[in-house]
Structure 1
Amino acid sequence: MSALSRALTVSAALLVASVWAPLASAQGANQEAAQTRVVPGAREEVLMSLAPVVREIAPSIVNVYGSRVEQRQAHPFLDDPFFGQFFGERGFGVPRDRVQRSAGSGVVVDPSGLVITNHHVIAGMTEVKVSLADRREYPAKVVISDERSDLAVLKLEGEGPFPAARLGDSEALEVGDFVIALGNPFGVGQTVTQGIVSALARTQAGISDFQSFIQTDAAINPGNSGGPLVDLNGDVVGINTAIFTRSGGNHGIGFAVPSSVARLVLESARGGSSVVRRPWLGARLQTVSQDIAHGLGLPRPLGALVASVVNDSPAMKAGLVPGDVITSVSGRPVDDPDGFGYHFYSRPVDGEISLAVLRGGDTVTLTLPLAAAPERPARDPVTAGERPRSPFIGATVVNLSPAVAEEMAITYADNGVVILDPGASARFGFRAGDILLSINDRDIANTGDFDTAWQSAPRFWRVTLNRQGRVLRTEFGG
């Protein structure tokens, strides 16, 4: 065993038990005699430290800086020659442009200079720079910025090789495992904090709409975003993303994107793609309540109940049917739909997984192909133009396909159109992701139907749409 392994083993053991030996109870003749406190027997026990882990991972931790120039509307007097002779180029002392900046952390995960950070750190930035631990600074190109997972991959524009960290297996984590968070909180410089895994498969974090998160009590603060969560082997098991706070400071509830999701985004970047290819299930799942468990003859609520299955989807090809209860994914237990998503949506496409399913009191094993959601029908985007009293001015709609539904995190339907960009129609209350069902009592099955509908000029507009599962009806005009 190497010195590092011995140090980590001793460190982990002492963090759990410290130097206090457990005391056995004096009651009962069959109980063992109480152990006494002991003096550390080796130098390593006295000098227990996480320093070997930190020393190994620290060179790959980076600071990420983003900026963009925002054009500000100048006062009209500033362009007037008369006023210009008084104020000159300084105008009224107010700059015409404003620079918007962001800062966060990141981790180098490939010697070629690929860096993983958070999407929200570089979102909307036109210039990105990365500062390494040794103070070298490089411009960086955004390869992928995935809002759904809140992850981004950057490419350093410099000569490698760069010190790179290893991506670990987040699915091997258990609640109670020790972890280390690294980053640049509040811009004070590289900082290390330590804690444990508090929970897995957290989805009610209000961060993104896609995957589950690792919850940890390792201190995470503003500026830590994009930095790694590391296990005691020095492997990156998560990317620090957010904290739960009421004051802006750390309350011991932090969230990290699992490394399994980060690996999926990274592999998409390595493959030259600007978008992340994710597996598509093609089924709607729901939580097994106490009443449902009783009706199915289950001893307790467990698993993810299949509520519906899309035609010609991977779920249908695997043989899933409504009423099935998924209890595990490739041997990993599933307690609810969130747990299923934690193990499923980070898988690479073009493979397959096994599902354990309860059906009619028996357990069956199904093989599910991992395929990306198809874009059928084609999007065929249509943008509405100017029409008197029209509420759709500037709205861009596309045909609804499994790929579009996955991209926009909405429920897939067999047909219909979805608002991709509301444009000026946002002032009438339309939102991206709204599925248009009918306009003036005419069904909208595809973008061709919408193209015909928006070009009419009725006195009143009657619109029916589906917004996050709720059917809304409204009228405009008069």
Structure 2
Amino acid sequence: MKKIATLVLVSVLGGIITLSAYKLFLEKDNINPTTQANTSLSAFPVSNFSNSGFIPENTVDFTSAAEKTVHTVVHVKNTTTGNSGQMTFEDLFYGRSSQRPQIGTGSGVIISPDGYIITNNHVISGSSSLLITLNDNSTYEAKIIGTDDKTDIALLKIEAGDDLPYTTFGDSDQAKIGEWVLAVGNPFNLTSTVTAGIISAKSRDLTGGRNTQSFIQTDAAVNPGNSGGALVNSNGDLIGINTAISSQTGSYIGYSFAVPSNIARKVVEDIMEYGNVQNGILGVTGGALNSGFAERLSVNETEGFYIDSVDENSGAYEAGLETGDIIIKIDRVKISKFSDLTGYLSTKRPDDVVHVSYLRNGNLKEVPVTLVRNQTYTIPQLGIVKNASKEELKKYNTSNGVKISVLGESYSKYLRANGVQEGDIVTSINNIKVANVDDVQEIIRNKPVSEPLRIELINSRGEMERYNFN
């Protein structure tokens, strides 16, 4: 009897131990997270499915791309001379302005073994001297080969003596949203800094509706000093030049923007071959479609570029494009918004042929269009000017000049009050005769920042007028 009691006691104790172990070690792992009111959600996956197939971020290997790129990204030191915020007693006594050297820094990317470097125009703007520091801490003076304000791209050259490591251009049109990228630059004067992210969006316009830009947007951390640095894919190919951030503080808060490599490469090639950027235009005006715009136009499409008018002297006119047509693709590039259109055309030159796919009355058509030279230019103080025909010049009794196409908003009230209107002919700028928009662009590009803009024009009454703008 005593043995039976002992066995029963041992059995009971064994059951208690087994049940306690189950409760303590096994059952708690099966608790549904939604019943844990005080448990941090960050401790649980966002899906109830097994994550056994999840690939952690650290399996994406950027070491090869980083190694290829860090030696090709340089530090750019821009020295300018400007008015100092602090004035000395002597400055006050003699009534002079205090000129002090001012230092700005940024990044650049070596794109050839003989020392050509691409950077942002705003990094080197106004420079009196430029110093380039390589990743091995060697320093060289740089000269400016050419710049383009529109795309914010500049080309520099250093003489290093030996062949330099360089980055090769990739095809930014082939870059995909969600693709991993590296941003390499010199933020806050730190050399060779590498950050990683993904492409968040493409064809992003930051001009507030003027649709003159087409950036790659990424969430790779970019800060002041990164401007002009490299955005590369996982192979180390250059797909963008880091240019801007979206921030209310001046530092990175999650979004950065890069000029696509196809645009940057075309600008560099134009500067090297022609000395300036060759812009080919389609010759249409209009706007991007959305549901509201489509409803007002009584069209069924909500994506694409709606043609509102066609320039008679353009390839689009010659190809038969008409008002009401909707462009949905150019070559292999889908056109969903205006910046898709402008971004792709920024990679083209006059006389290039593009294949335009468009909808007309619901029917899909395709035509080849030969791009023509840009015949307009925007003078901020005046407005848009365009090449004038022989008949228009004869009407104003002049042999040279460009026509005011649209008066700008800044001074339009003042100019109209003085009799200036659309159609008037600008004959010279800063005492240099102009015959076309290329002349206008060249004069304004080479004008010192401190020099006022002097415009001479003939109004509709045949009177010669002169205006000075600071």
Q: TM-score, normalised by structure 1?
A: 0.69
* Pair 272,157 (structure 1): closer, same or farther in 2 beyond 3 Å: farther
CA shift in 2, pair 1:441/1:248, >3 Å: closer
Partner of 1:416: 404
Q: Which residue of 2 aligns with 1:134?
A: 136
Quick one: distance in 2 between partners of 1:418 and 1:186?
42
Q: In the alignment, what sits opposite 2:185?
A: 183
What does residue 19 of structure 1 align with? none
Contact 1:207 1:242 in 2 (8 A): no
Distance 1:177 1:444, change over 3 A: closer
How many angstroms does 1:60 deviate by?
Answer: 0.7
* Contact 1:417 1:436 (8 Å CA) reproduced: no
> Structure 2: which 5+ residue stretches go unaligned?
1-45, 389-401, 427-456
Q: Percent identity?
A: 30
2:257 aligns to what? 255
Deviations 1:450-471 (Å, cap 9, x if unpaired)? 4964659xxxx9xxxxxxxxxx
Displacement of 1:245 in angstroms is 1.0
State the structure with more CA Rg: 2
Deviation per residue, 1:27-82 (Å, 9 max, x gap):
xxxxxxx7857999xxxx998631111111111110111112236799999599xx
Q: 1:202 to 1:435 in 2, by over 3 A?
A: farther
The C-alpha deviation readout for 1:246-280, integer Å capped at 9, x for no partner, is: 2222111001110011011110122141x211111
Q: Hey, what does 2:158 align to over in structure 1?
A: 156
- Structure 2: how far apart are the matches of 1:292 and 1:443? 28
Q: Secondary structure at the match of 1:267?
A: helix
Picking from 428, 433, 458, the partner of 1:449 is 458
1:243–1:111 distance in 2 versus 1, CA, 3 Å: same
Which stretch shifts more, 436-445 or 49-58? 436-445
Contact 2:359 2:365 (8 Å CA) reproduced: yes
**SS of aligned partner of 1:110:** coil
Give the structure 2 partner of residue 68 of structure 1. 80
What pairs up with 1:355-434 in 2 under 5 angstroms?
Answer: 355-374=356-375, 400-401=385-386, 415-416=403-404, 430=411
Superposition RMSD in Å: 4.2
Aligned equivalent of 1:268: 270
CA contact (8 A) 2:206 2:213 kept: no
**1:278 partner letter:** N
Change (3 A) 1:76 1:128: closer
Inter-CA distance 435–119: structure 2 relative to 1 (3 Å threshold) = farther
Contact 1:113 1:160 in 2 (8 A): no
Cα 1:217/1:69, change in 2 over 3 Å: same
For residues 369-417 of structure 1, the C-alpha deviation after alignment (integer angstroms, 9 at most, x for no partner) is 13321479xx9x9xxxxxxxxxxxxx997992159xxxxxxxxxx9437
Structure 2 CA distance for partners of 1:77 and 1:65, relative to 1, 3 Å: closer
- Equivalent runs, 1:315-330 vs 2, <5 Å: 315-330=316-331
Determine if the alignment matches structure 1 residue 311 to structure 2 residue 342: no
Q: Distance in 2 between matches of 1:61 and 1:442?
A: 49
Amino acid at match of 2:404: G
Work out the CA distance in 2 between the residues paired with 1:58 and 1:351: 35
Once structures 1 and 2 are overlaid, which stretch shifts more, 114-123 or 342-351?
A: 342-351
Matched AA of 2:385? L
Matching residue of 2:4: none
Whole-angstrom CA distance in 1 between matches of 2:112 and 2:423? 48
* Separation of aligned partners in 1, 2:208 and 2:115: 31
186, 191, 195: which one pairs with 1:193?
Answer: 195
> Which residue of structure 2 aligns with residue 118 of structure 1?
120
Distance in 2 (alpha carbons) for counterparts of 1:144 and 1:186: 26
- The one-letter amino acid of 2:216's match is I
- C-alpha spacing 1:399/1:174, structure 2 compared with 1 (3 Å): closer
1:5 is matched with which residue? none
Instruction: Please list the CA deviations of residues 148-167 of structure 1 after superposition, one character each: whole Å capped at 9, or x if unmatched.
Output: 11111101133242211011
Looking at structure 1, the residues matched to 216 and 86 of structure 2 have their Cα atoms a distance apart, in angstroms, of: 47
Cα distance change on mapping 1:446 and 1:57 into 2, 3 Å: same
- Residues 396, 222 of structure 1: alpha-carbon distance in 2 compared, 3 angstrom cutoff: closer
Cα 1:362/1:68, change in 2 over 3 Å: same
Change (3 A) 1:305 1:192: same
Q: What is the 5 A alignment of 1:330-349?
A: 330-349=331-350
Contact kept in structure 1, 2:203 and 2:339, CA below 8 Å: yes
CA–CA distance in 1 between the matches of 2:464 and 2:318? Answer: 39
CA distance in 1, matches of 2:407, 2:289: 33
**Deviation of residue 139 (structure 1)?**
0.8
Name stretches of at least 5 consecutive residues in structure 1 with no aligned partner. Answer: 1-21, 26-33, 84-90, 382-394, 404-413, 421-425, 462-478
* Alignment match, 1:237: 239
User: How far does residue 169 in structure 1 lie from its aligned partner after superposition?
Assistant: 0.6
Match for residue 437 of structure 2?
none
Do 2:116 and 2:157's aligned partners in 1 also have CA atoms closer than 8 Å? Answer: yes
Instruction: Supply the distance in 2 between the matched residues of 1:435 and 1:168 (Cα, whole angstroms).
Output: 48
Q: CA deviation at 1:179?
A: 0.3
Going from structure 1 to structure 2, the CA distance change for 1:198 and 1:51 (only over 3 Å counts) comes to: same
Aligned positions of 1:291-310 closer than 5 A: 293-294=294-295, 299-310=300-311
Instruction: Give the TM-score of the pair, scaled to structure 2.
Output: 0.70
SS state of the match for residue 239, structure 1? strand
Against the structure 1 CA distance between its residues 289 and 276, is the aligned structure 2 distance closer, same or farther, given a 3 Å change threshold? Answer: same
Tell me if the contact between 1:418 and 1:436 (Cα under 8 Å) persists in the aligned partners: no
Match of 2:219 among 198, 214, 217: 217
Deviation at 1:189? Answer: 1.8
Match of 2:287 in 1: 286
The residue number in structure 2 matching 1:105 is 107
Query: Cα distance 1:435–1:195, how it changes in 2: closer, same or farther (>3 A)?
Result: farther
Shift in CA distance, 79/98, structure 1 to aligned 2, threshold 3 Å: closer
Change (3 A) 1:212 1:443: closer
Task: Kindly state the Cα deviation for residue 233 of structure 1 after the two structures are TM-superposed.
Answer: 1.0
